[in-house]
Chain A
């Protein structure tokens, strides 16, 4: 009994933290989302997702984050396989190199891309030196996707790498012994065994990409409106917290879906990134 109490006490700071900084703010969002300026109940904030501008920006955000998630997956999986095969020593050094940029602020790294992509930027400077015509790179959907892939790629690599490391070499060797070629091993052994990592990687890339407003602001020149930008505008400039909160609740549906996916495919938390 005494032991149990002590254990619970240890959880106290965390409980306090999650109550104060997760649960209460979340409840406030729910309150704002379902009320209007006069404080009476309304569904209009939630339903406003159906207006053409909001629908369009949500759709665009889904599109761009889907594309970047796919690109991340295609880039990350082979990389994770290479890392695993390198064994712990050198592999972990590459992982370290990979995580290193994450120590720098995310905003700074995105602004650096601005400098690279600009009209008189580094990339166009190189093109000009090679006597190639300059490209309009910045302020396009492509630039936003690039920003998303660049910023969120580590979140795809790490969970997949973690899961791959847990696959026994004997399993792979057994597949080879039984005559499976590389493609067969990949699709029948590697992939099925790494699904928890893939799912958690997908959600860890898709959710932040869907809700971002900084990347689209900096690399899209504010010309491309994503749902995250709409919400940000409502809070900081429109002064309509109720609408902003309502739209955030709509976005939360997607977050819940991804949490459900993780719960289904990653029961033991194998695919967690860290």
Chain B
């Protein structure tokens, strides 16, 4: 989700010339094929998170359909929204997160998807369609792409040295013994989720008292926090910089792989806090002003194919809601509870919902207070 922002900026900074080289060459290839193979099947403007697709999948789609894909990236939901709203570039298919889909839907920016054109929707596990109802009550506007949880990653050896038991709940992140050893997520809703859930409130709370309490909790926690970061949680934890960090579950495959391949003398383990957590979903939607709606539906259908979803899962490593793809995975992966937790165990977890501009502003102001304190 929000990881890889820096990786992206960095890559862009270092290899802009290189990247643009790649871009033109692959586009050229796509063009050539579409021209030679079949009649011009039109274009498709895709707007997605950075590093959120296996690039071969794009080429494969172009080869198969003859549709020329124009692929753009965004870093945050908040950055994507004004672009779609302004409509200066009309994207045909976009992949926002849960609460942002709700905001787009409520502000009448989304087109209803014609599911007759998406037969592969049957591959999506109904449980995730159910989950989507938090932000898309009638399952009319979105098709789930990736999902996951947020939990605590901890360094077993470091905790032992500090004499602290492994964390099991969010409240453990307020342990004074962990001073300077905590990495928190540097985003408003994620940070408040931790504090709200700790006190047993909904992470979609709009109650001023609850939010105040959460704000005070975060201010109280701040001296213990080493840094507020996003994707760096992963690398800092692998480097042994901190004892505990709040992290997206999708990073775990990478973390586990690194610990093994670097031969580290400590273990990094992931726990879902018992107070419940953020259950997030990124789904494909079609903006109302899309010019190539049918191509967009072809794209979504293509991505719902089990083999394609599997290729994407292997690249992104974030859990896939595609049951066909899940069955194609080897048994060890299927039983990896860190990546694929039992949905039943997530009963007290929630999906973020859009709270309206005014409440958003309250969250932002409170977050600024935490940061400025």
Q: Spell out A's residues near B (CB within 8 Å).
A: 37, 52-54, 56-57, 105, 107-108, 111, 118-120, 136, 138-139, 221-223, 225, 229-230, 233-234, 236-241
Contacts and interface: CB of A to CB of B under 8 A. Distances in A.
A238 B222 contact: no
Interface of B: 9-10, 13-14, 75-76, 78-79, 81-82, 180, 186-188, 222, 225-229, 239-242, 357, 360-361, 364-365, 368-369, 371-372
Contacts of B81: 239
B82 A241 contact: yes
Contact of A237 (B188, B241, B242, B369): B188
29 contacts: A53-B372, A56-B372, A105-B14, A107-B13, A108-B10, A119-B226, A120-B240, A120-B241, A136-B180, A139-B226, A221-B228, A222-B186, A222-B227, A222-B228, A222-B229, A223-B371, A225-B371, A236-B75, A237-B76, A237-B187, A237-B188, A237-B364, A238-B78, A238-B188, A238-B361, A239-B78, A239-B81, A239-B360, A240-B361
Most buried by A among B229, B239, B365, B371: B371
A237 B185 CA distance: 13
Contacts of B187: 237
A108 to B, nearest CB: 7
Contacts of A236: 75-76, 78-79
Contacts of B76: 236-237
Contacts of A108: 10, 13-14
Most buried by B among A52, A119, A223: A223
**Majority-rule SS of B interface residues:** helix
B14 A240 contact: no
Contacts of A105: 13-14
B368 A225 contact: yes
A1 to B, nearest CB: 42
Given A108-B10, A111-B10, A221-B227, 12 more contacts: A37-B357, A52-B372, A119-B226, A119-B241, A119-B242, A120-B241, A221-B226, A222-B227, A223-B371, A225-B368, A225-B371, A236-B78
A120 B226 CA distance: 13
A233 B227 CA distance: 16
Contacts of B368: 53-54, 225, 230, 233
A108 B187 CA distance: 23
A168 B361 CA distance: 60
B239 A120 contact: yes
Contacts of B13: 105, 107-108
A54 B368 CA distance: 9
B229 A221 contact: yes
Contact of B364 (A222, A240, A241): A240
A238 B189 CA distance: 11
Which of A53, A56, A111, A136 lies at the interface centre, i.e. has the most chain B CB atoms within 10 A of its CB?
A53
A139 B242 CA distance: 13
A236 B78 CA distance: 6
Contacts of B371: 53, 222-223, 225, 229
Nearest to B222: A223
Contacts of B242: 119
Contacts of B226: 119, 139, 221
Nearest to A224: B371
Nearest to B103: A239
A168 B102 CA distance: 70
A105 B227 CA distance: 24
B361 A223 contact: no
B227 to A, nearest CB: 3
Of A222, A229, A241, chain B has the most CB atoms within 10 Å of the CB of: A222
Nearest to A230: B368
A225 B372 contact: yes
A57 B243 CA distance: 29
A50 to B, nearest CB: 14
B231 to A, nearest CB: 12
Closest 7 pairs (CB-CB, A-B): A221-B227, A222-B228, A53-B372, A225-B371, A239-B78, A53-B368, A238-B364
A240 B357 CA distance: 10
Contacts of B222: 223
